[in-house]
Amino acid sequence: MSPAPQEPVDTIRTDQDLVVEIVDDLAAALVNARIYRADHPRVLESAATTARSLKDLRLIDGERGLRVSVANELLVHRGHPLVGASIAASRLIQAIAARRAGGLEIDVEADGTAIARLLAELAGRVGPQAGESSRPATIRRPEGPSQESGRGLPGRRGSDDAQPSVAASAAMGEGDDWQALNARLESTGSRSVRMLPPFVVGSNQSPVTGRTTIITPVRFYQSCIDVLQDVTISICNGGKIEFADVQSHAEAVLKRLEGDDGPLMNLARQDQYDAFTFGHSVRVAVLAMNFARTLTSDHELLVRIGTAALLHDCGKSLVPFEILHSRKPLGPDEKREMSKHPSYGAEILLDHDRADPLTIAAAFGHHRSCDGKGYPATLHEHHNLLVTEIVKVCDVYEALTAARPYKRPMSPVRAYRVMMSMGDHLDRKLLRRFIETNGIFPVGQLVLLTTGERARVVAQTQRIVFPKVKLETDPAGHALPDESAVTIDLSAPQSHPHRAIAEALTEEPATTPAIVAKADLASFPVPSL
């Protein structure tokens, strides 16, 4: 991911911002708990980070701390679905569901030790069938030794350090549900963390049903992030990447794009921050494949481009967690360490006989300029492949338009200006083509029309500032029923002479109203105690 101009964020965070940050901390800590022993410093530190964030949470209505429930594979807080946070926290959601729980609660006074204990439970480190010698059920491993293939790369751990965990669902024994987990937590003195009871079946607190238009694209995004999490865990454990899983998800992305999947492109605009940047890689892949479809119709090549984009940052698996998860701009030494991730990624992929040369090239070259500058430096002249340039353009665009703890997301127009000012770092012809494809108002952008209506961009046209839009409200701001939500081609003024885009509208990234607007938020549950 290319560095973006660093603008200070507002010092005042909303409750929703803080909740999303805490959920991201938990998701990152759970990944560490799946890689390392429960008492490993990385697990303890990531748990302590969560505990520190909790202290700032403002409590209402008798709350004891953070309480999140799970409905239809979405995290819900105070009746509001956290769509962006749920995408990055799919394994946390799965671990809660595996215990047949309705959610989890962490008191504000919880310390890192208590949270680490909860994470160990959710990662399968403890429990009836947990064992330090078992492999995660979701990770495939080749036969024979794997540590020798590491080529001495820093960050790769041996069996004494990164002992693999048991997947949460596999670790559960008969009857090992949320109540058994809570009993174990209490027996160890961890009374400030707990699983919440399941929903009351048939009550008005039951999970949402029939919301496939909301849930399906989120679940698909979650499955892509799951695959990248498994890649990271396998790399850290000295294992091998299962390329077939990554390729199948790239092919699934392409199929959805070819089916004109508006919700998928809308999720690609989700600017939610996630510590391990899995969401970044998925968004880059969606952008790269959508862009590449305008350059070639070769299905196999498009899948290869998508696979390369999904894995372009795999070298970050070996970057120290405290650097990768930093919530402030990096210092000079930290930047030097971060700049090693393209080399790490190329070496990781070169350890695999089945690695696609395009994937290796993208991992190595996505921070190198067309004039040979950038990093990693080489002793000889090295020109990027076109696939690498495609991934690089999308990588820079996503980095500029996504939220980070130390900067605000840029609008597409401002991001384009920054990219055009980067000189030879980006291929100028390719960048112009990308802007034409992505549009001044990208697919998924919520806009206000000159007639007062709100609409969603659904497709680009030959006129870059006049896309096709789908109406979402009437001029008075009232939501339109589906049958009245017509699609309008703003590039055809003879049909709609008085309609144009007045301005692009911002949205709450934690909940993405574009996705949940049709849902009855009151039906998102809070577990019954």
pLDDT value at 475 more than 60: yes
Give the 3-state secondary structure percentages of the chain, helix then strand then coil, rounded to 5.
45, 10, 45
Query: What tens digit of pLDDT does each residue of 279-334 get?
Result: 889 999 999 999 999 999 999 999 999 999 999 999 999 998 888 878 788 899 99
Q: What would the mean pLDDT of 218-245 be, rounded to a whole number?
A: 89
Kindly state the greatest CA–CA separation across the chain.
73
278, two tokens: 């899995």
Residue 431 has a pLDDT of: 94
Residue 174 has a pLDDT of: 42
Find all residues with CB under 8 Å of 180, minimum gap 6, and list them.
none
Number of other residues whose CB lies within 10 A of the CB of residue 292: 25
Q: Please state, in angstroms and rounded to a whole number, the distance separating the CA atoms of residues 411 and 409.
A: 7
Query: What tens digit of pLDDT does each residue of 154-204 get?
Result: 444 443 343 333 333 334 444 478 999 999 999 999 999 999 998 654 444
Residue 251 has a pLDDT of: 95
Q: Specify whether the CB–CB gap between 100 and 70 falls below 8 A.
A: no
Query: What tens digit of pLDDT does each residue of 22-42 get?
Result: 998 898 889 888 888 888 888
Residue 144 has a pLDDT of: 34
At position 14, the amino acid (one-letter code) is T
pLDDT above 70 as % of the chain: 75
Strands 487-489 and 468-471: antiparallel
Q: Delimit the domains of the chain by residue range.
A: 15-365, 446-515
59 or 153, higher pLDDT: 59
307 or 257, higher pLDDT: 307
Residue 68 bridge partners (DSSP): 104
**DSSP states of 4-60 as a string?**
----PPPSPPPHHHHHHHHHHHHHHHHHHHHHS-TT-HHHHHHHHHHHHHHTTPPP-
Q: Please state, in angstroms and rounded to a whole number, the distance separating the CA atoms of residues 487 and 470.
A: 4
Q: Please state, in angstroms and rounded to a whole number, the distance separating the CA atoms of residues 126 and 165.
A: 9
pLDDT band per the 50, 70, 90 thresholds, residue 461: confident
Report angle CA 160, 166, 172 to the nearest 5 degrees.
145
pTM above threshold 0.85: no
Residue 317 has a pLDDT of: 92
Residue 24 has a pLDDT of: 87
- Of 127, 337, 363, give the one whose Cα is nearest residue 241: 363
The full length of the chain comes to: 529
Report phi then psi at 527, rounded to 5.
Answer: -55, 145
151 or 216, higher pLDDT: 216
pLDDT band per the 50, 70, 90 thresholds, residue 125: low
DSSP 8-class letter at 155: T
Q: Tokens 């669902």: give the residue.
A: 169
Q: Specify whether the CB–CB gap between 291 and 391 falls below 8 A.
A: no
Helix (H, G, I), strand (E, B), or coil: what is residue 36? coil
Query: What tens digit of pLDDT does each residue of 370-394 get?
Result: 777 889 988 777 778 999 999 999 9
